[in-house]
Structure 1
């Protein structure tokens, strides 16, 4: 994988799972420190090993078993942000789950969040990368767990903790069952996003819209319903598209068949992210490189992706202005 072509190109990433960004070597090191046997989740080359989406979720949750303390998450955040900065990422919004960070208890969540934020402050000073957090409920854990996550989010909302969303297995449960959590987050003035339109199809995107979200995580299968696509365009609902993830998990056979270009041509606002980069053998630089190679996109198109992402980021306006200035300086 070559990152050279777009390594220095400034990038804004809006869809990144913190645990999913953990380098395999980092997780193996933690497991060794704690005497946890998770050798089964790695292949012979030391990479994460899974064959489908269900297995991916199982491997993901196995990595979480090594992350026990706020200090573990502090170290993970530093490692993740260092790798993102190397890829030219200047701003990242990262999904954080209170289910993994303190078991959904507000007091414990505050300790984990403080450790993550302290690491983010260090990385911003060291590497210039800005991080903001989005609390994410885990769909397949059910609505009650989501309520606890929403309460954690509402108690810690601010300039750094800026959003609330839901991830996990789209094939389980109904999004309307999570409306209480989204209502609470909205009342707390958190921005809203939701994973949909990946495994659930276009109908799951419609379900997510009923929650009043501003952005959709993935959302690419909206392309199967052109009336829905036009609705997204007209209402400026933004898709957090992760092409490399979709292809690695078999949603599409290759880059040429991915619908990102068709969505853009119909006026949908899209951004590009890596989702869980070491799991899917990708980086932000690689995503940009493959988009340029697959669709003939020049730097102006790629700049538009970053400008779109900056415009819809959940950060405050002073931070947005700083990001736009950085993007303009590169032109």
Structure 2
């Protein structure tokens, strides 16, 4: 195949890669939500055929609270986790870091160990069935207090569950404002305890959110980070420290961060030397697949197979997979 020809979807599916920015909250099937809502006697926010039509980030986040509120039992949470592993396998990914934010799951408030055990049960069953391994990034909501952040870190450190690989933070930056200083101590303690640190920034905030995540929270990885393109000095910082960005193109388009893929800065960031990876964010809610994201960008930016291989390598390197899992994926990538 000539290097300028865009690979077909099957070849992109076969590309060995990792997913480093996906939310368990974004993996609900519409039919499952409809069934659970009927069983609970809870009204649907919209008819099923328009259930995933969002008016913006705020509407999207409200929907997450509604959907997660229906996942009220261990079996439902395990079923959802198993379903994510199936999606991962179908996309050709060999590993994922998946984010879960306990604040969205009202049935599990005050029951974090049980919640993590239920999620772990689904992922463990999936791995036993030959599906890819998954690491769990437990996330703060940006509007929480410093006390709540400390409480979550204390709980994670005490639990030391092998499924949990990182502390995360997500939520609407535009609504919450510059928040990193509030969580600096919690992230410092998480890092000292051996947890990795990943931070949503530079989506609904400008580049200052990304800089805060690096300088105040010690971020090992930035989720989104696309608006770093607006600050040349920040791009230099990302390149110098090799802090990767977990970018989700369809999410950025659907939620109005950029008007079109041609306007999206992922290729400019890549060409500037930033370690960017391609991800789905909330795959089922946004109608995104991992190989579809690679196809979208490959067509828009005329990426060669060498470019795609480099991007897949970025995803593996940026992941919080263990050494053996990374080595296996890297070896498979060399044979692609």
Give TM-score, length-normalised by structure 2: 0.91
Unaligned runs of 5+ in 1: none
| Contact 1:310-1:320 at 8 Å conserved across structures | yes
| Contact 1:93-1:134 at 8 Å conserved across structures | yes
Does structure 1 residue 125 correspond to structure 2 residue 128?
yes
The verdict on how the C-alpha distance between 1:31 and 1:168 changes in structure 2, with shifts beyond 3 A counting, is same
RMSD, aligned α-carbons:
1.9
Helix, strand or coil at the partner of 2:13: coil
Further displaced range: 121-130 or 66-75: 121-130
User: d(CA) in 1 for partners of 2:131 and 2:84?
Assistant: 14
The residue correspondences of 1:148-159 to structure 2 (distance < 5 A) are 148-157=151-160, 159=162
Does structure 1 residue 162 correspond to structure 2 residue 165?
yes
Larger RCO: 1 or 2 (CA < 8 Å, sep 6+): 2
User: d(CA) in 2 for partners of 1:100 and 1:158?
Assistant: 21
Further displaced range: 18-27 or 288-297: 18-27
| Contact 2:22-2:281 at 8 Å conserved across structures | yes
Does structure 1 residue 60 correspond to structure 2 residue 64?
yes
User: d(CA) in 2 for partners of 1:176 and 1:52?
Assistant: 27
The verdict on how the C-alpha distance between 1:313 and 1:157 changes in structure 2, with shifts beyond 3 A counting, is farther
User: d(CA) in 2 for partners of 1:104 and 1:233?
Assistant: 39
Task: Report Cα offsets for 1:78-106 as digits up to 9, x if no partner.
Answer: 1121122111121110012233456553x
| Contact 1:104-1:152 at 8 Å conserved across structures | no
Match of 1:280 in 2: 286
Helix, strand or coil at the partner of 2:70: coil
Match of 1:138 in 2: 141
**1:47 Cα shift?**
3.6
Match of 1:182 in 2: 187
| Contact 1:98-1:149 at 8 Å conserved across structures | no
User: d(CA) in 2 for partners of 1:8 and 1:321?
Assistant: 17
The residue correspondences of 1:45-56 to structure 2 (distance < 5 A) are 45-56=49-60
Match of 1:27 in 2: 33
Q: How many residues align?
A: 325
Give TM-score, length-normalised by structure 1: 0.92
Helix, strand or coil at the partner of 1:63: helix
The verdict on how the C-alpha distance between 1:20 and 1:175 changes in structure 2, with shifts beyond 3 A counting, is same
User: d(CA) in 2 for partners of 1:44 and 1:161?
Assistant: 33
Match of 1:92 among 84, 96, 104: 96
**1:322 Cα shift?**
2.5
User: d(CA) in 2 for partners of 1:254 and 1:49?
Assistant: 18
| Contact 2:64-2:104 at 8 Å conserved across structures | no
